[in-house]
């Protein structure tokens, strides 16, 4: 045979060399930094990391900090509303676009373009639009409704909803795109069979289409959920956590404590909590997918 | 209503005729309602873009009138000029053009590097047996979900130790590293669709690891490289957090400069300049989006459907 044993091993060595950056990245960055962060969270580090061990005291301090508990509260409200609204709006947009409408390409371009913009730009535009003195509230009042109120962005109780609106505007197009791709993968003959049986179109969508979109919904949910945990840019741009601490979110809390307030130990504890939350979301999903793919006989 | 109409229409046998019947639009109330909903949704999505554009073309006197949706009476490009070359981004007041070029300097090398490594990893994982590679890939995929905040501080310390913190090289390295999961996934899925016989034939012809990669696989990957370029250019250009932390004061990307211009001004806020600056920052990714069209969509669904 032309290929001798030593030659085959050499080629494998080339592959190993090629994968070295990936190995370094996985071990050094993705595993190493996480372990390092967790280690710091068990120390009393302030500006510089200290090598001591203080047990869970940083975590206790963390949950006694009002800004942190407010941020958790906010991210929960934001997460639920954002994901729900995106899924519902994205689903309806996808269904509407699936009805063979004229100008489908133009409409799809319009629904998805916000996703091409940066979160900072989105936050800044919506901050401007929701400006009570010069934005939507003022414009509607000038149209002849002097009692109209839309000052959510400076209202401590309602500011979180402004973040939801801006984020839903940005991300529903993504859900629509994923669901539309899923819809297009559904066999048209199913609709013809249902139609002959006299099933109305909305009923067809409810009973036939929705179950088949399960994986697409799952993918959208995970994408959105991961985005929720990471949400930072839009808060910094739109409200800076304000008014006061009313729109504080965990990601911003961590960044502030890492850099501005020089509370590295506390911030590391917070980021460990964030990581555990993400894991808690992901592990069930992965498990469900691997069970499903094993059932379908995929490798 | 439409269900009744469609039931009365006899189911036509020939597929060609069925297609023609579907293309004809029925002006039923349900159909009109559908278009109404679609158009109002489109209006919701287009509204901020319209407001951005209109605000950026008004002089400040008109903005103070509080007519957010009105078209400009005395349209002017002065805010755009000011945003580009005069706005204050922290210590200097040379406009947001500084950020534009910084972003270009960041995006180009980062895109090239992250795509190269993604392709290399995807190729090695698809066609070669390396011990532990499957496990590494699994952890890499998991890494894509880890929030940046967990990894930032250790990375800052590491980069500072090798004198790369706050430098262009540092931010490019960071983007390459964080882009690796999605890029590797993208290329691995693509190469999974390449027939193994092609690879085996190349091996029999005497091709080694690198030769097959550069002379066979890469040239074959142009479609997926196009998708990857679109994804990376958009994501890296729009990045804020990583640029804020790792780029250093001399290399701050446009998104960071934009936030500086708008949220850290003293005195009267020039909303028209702010909106002009926002449009300038969004111009490149929007242009990429509009030009790439279907490819952008492919990027989303390819990255979203994790195989």
* Lowest-pLDDT choice from A286-295, B107-116, B144-153: A286-295
Residue B142 scores a pLDDT above 90 = no
ipTM for the assembly:
0.85
pLDDT at B51 (0 to 100): 92
Residue B92 pairs in a beta bridge with B89
Ordered by where they begin, the domains of chain A are 73-247 (1.10.3720.10)
Closest by Cβ to B41, choosing from A11, A16, A93 = A93
Q: Do B139 and A174 touch (CB under 8 A)?
A: no
For B97-304, the fitting CATH number among 1.10.10.10, 3.40.50.1370, 1.10.3720.10, 1.10.150.130 is: 1.10.3720.10
Q: Look at B263 and B46; give whichever has higher pLDDT.
A: B46
Q: What is the pLDDT of residue A286?
A: 76
Q: Among residues 169-208 of chain B, which lie with CB inside 8 Å of chain A?
A: 177, 180, 184, 203-204, 206, 208
User: B230 falls in which pLDDT band (50, 70, 90)?
Assistant: very high
**CB atoms near residue A244 (< 10 Å):** 11
Q: What angle do CA B179, B181, B182 make, to 5 degrees?
A: 75
pLDDT digits (tens, 9 = 90+) for B79-106: 999 889 888 887 788 888 999 999 999 9
Mean pLDDT of A286-294: 76
B259 CB within 8 Å of a chain A CB: yes
B56 Cβ contact list (under 8 Å, min separation 6): B79, B80, B83, B272, B273, B275, B276, B278, B279
Total residue length of chain B: 307
The minimal CB distance from A33 to the residues B22, B155, B241 is found for B155
Q: Which residues pair with B89 in a beta bridge?
A: B92
Residue B7 is predicted with a pLDDT of 46
Q: pLDDT band at residue B9, thresholds of 50, 70 and 90?
A: very low
Q: Given this model, what pLDDT does residue B26 score?
A: 62
Across A101-130, average pLDDT:
90
Q: Using a CB-CB distance cutoff of 8 angstroms, which residues of chain A are in contact with residue B52?
A: 125, 128
Higher-confidence residue of B304 and B238: namely: B238
Does the pLDDT of residue A216 top 50, yes or no?
A: yes
- Report the pLDDT value the prediction gives residue B6, as an integer from 0 to 100: 43
> How far does A157 lie from chain B, in Å, by closest CA?
22
Confidence bin at B21 (pLDDT 50/70/90): very low
User: Where in chain B are the domains?
Assistant: 2-56, 97-304
- With a cut of 90, say whether residue B298 has pLDDT above it: no
CA atoms within 13 A on the CB side of B46: 14
Cα distance from B19 to chain A (closest Cα, Å)? 11
Q: Check B150 against A12: CB less than 8 A apart.
A: no
Under an 8 A CB cutoff, do B290 and A113 touch?
A: yes
**Average pLDDT value for chain B:** 85
- Cβ of B238 within 8 Å of Cβ of A117? The answer is yes
pLDDT at B14: 44
Residues B179-224 pLDDT 10s: 999 999 999 989 988 888 988 898 898 888 888 899 989 899 998 9
Nearest CB to A169: which of B48, B140, B158? B48
Share of chain A above pLDDT 70, in %: 95
Tell me if B237 and A114 make a contact (CB, 8 A cut-off).
Answer: no
At a CB cut-off of 8 Å and minimum separation 6, what does B187 contact?
B118, B119, B121, B122, B123, B221, B224, B228
- Residue-wise pLDDT for A193-209, tens only, equals 888 888 887 888 888 88
> What is the H or E stretch that residue A67 is in?
helix A66-97
**B39-49 core/surface letters (b: 16 or more CB in 10 A; e: else):** eebbeebebbb
Answer whether A232 sits within 8 Å of B289, measured CB to CB.
no
Q: Can you tell me the mean pLDDT for B290-298?
A: 85
**Which pTM does this prediction carry?**
0.86
């Amino acid at each position: 045979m032309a290929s001798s044993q030593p030659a085959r091993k050499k080629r494998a060595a080339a592959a190993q060399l090629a994968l070295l950056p990936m190995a370094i990245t996985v071990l050094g960055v993705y595993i190493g930094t996480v372990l390092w962060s967790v280690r710091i969270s068990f120390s009393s580090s302030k500006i510089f990391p200290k090598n001591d061990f203080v047990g869970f005291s940083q975590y206790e301090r963390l949950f006694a900090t009002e800004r942190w508990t407010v941020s958790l509260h906010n991210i929960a409200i934001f997460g639920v509303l954002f994901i729900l609204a995106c899924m519902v709006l994205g689903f309806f947009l996808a269904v509407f676009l699936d009805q063979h409408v004229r100008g489908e390409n133009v409409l799809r371009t319009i629904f998805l373009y916000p996703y091409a913009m940066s979160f900072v730009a989105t936050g800044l535009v919506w901050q401007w639009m929701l400006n009570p003195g010069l934005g939507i509230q003022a414009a509607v009042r000038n149209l002849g409704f002097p009692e109209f109120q839309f000052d959510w962005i400076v209202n401590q109780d309602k500011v979180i909803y402004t973040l939801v609106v801006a984020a839903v505007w940005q991300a529903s197009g993504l859900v629509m795109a994923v669901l539309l791709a899923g819809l297009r993968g559904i066999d048209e003959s199913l609709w013809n069979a249902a139609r002959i049986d006299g099933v109305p179109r909305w009923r067809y969508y409810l009973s036939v289409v929705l179950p088949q979109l399960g994986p697409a919904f799952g993918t959208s949910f995970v994408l959105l959920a991961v985005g929720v945990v990471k949400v930072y840019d839009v808060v910094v741009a739109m409200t800076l956590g304000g008014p006061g601490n009313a729109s504080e979110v965990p990601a911003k809390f961590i960044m502030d404590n890492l850099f501005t307030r020089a509370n590295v130990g506390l911030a590391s504890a917070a980021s460990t909590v964030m990581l555990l939350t993400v894991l808690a979301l992901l592990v069930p999903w992965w498990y469900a997918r691997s069970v499903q793919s094993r059932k379908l006989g995929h490798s | 209503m439409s269900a009744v109409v469609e039931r009365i229409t006899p189911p036509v046998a020939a597929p060609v005729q069925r297609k023609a019947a579907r293309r004809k639009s029925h002006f039923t109330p349900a159909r009109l309602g559908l278009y109404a909903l679609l158009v109002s949704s489109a209006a919701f999505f287009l509204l901020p873009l319209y407001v951005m554009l209109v605000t950026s073309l008004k002089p400040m006197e008109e903005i103070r009138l509080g007519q957010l949706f009105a078209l400009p009476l005395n349209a002017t490009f002065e805010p755009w000029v000011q945003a580009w070359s005069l706005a204050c981004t922290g210590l200097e007041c040379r406009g947001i053009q500084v950020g534009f070029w910084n972003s270009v300097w960041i995006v180009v090398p980062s895109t090239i590097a992250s795509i190269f490594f993604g392709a290399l990893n995807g190729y090695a994982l698809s066609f070669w047996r390396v011990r532990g590679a499957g496990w590494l890939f699994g952890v890499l995929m998991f890494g894509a979900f880890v929030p940046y905040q967990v990894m930032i501080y250790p990375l800052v310390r590491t980069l500072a130790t090798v004198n790369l913190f706050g430098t262009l090289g540092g931010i490019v390295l960071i983007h390459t590293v964080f882009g690796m999961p999605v890029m590797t996934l993208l290329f691995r899925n693509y190469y999974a669709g390449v027939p193994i016989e092609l690879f085996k034939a190349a091996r029999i012809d005497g091709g080694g690891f690198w030769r097959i990669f550069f002379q066979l696989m890469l040239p074959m990957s142009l479609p997926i490289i196009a998708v990857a370029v679109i994804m990376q250019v958009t994501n890296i250009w729009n990045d804020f957090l990583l640029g804020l932390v790792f780029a250093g004061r001399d290399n701050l990307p446009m998104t960071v400069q934009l936030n500086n211009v708008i949220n850290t001004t003293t005195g009267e806020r020039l909303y028209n300049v702010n909106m002009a600056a926002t449009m300038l920052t969004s111009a490149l990714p929007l242009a990429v989006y509009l030009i790439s069209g279907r490819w952008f969509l492919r990027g989303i669904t390819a990255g979203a459907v994790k195989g």
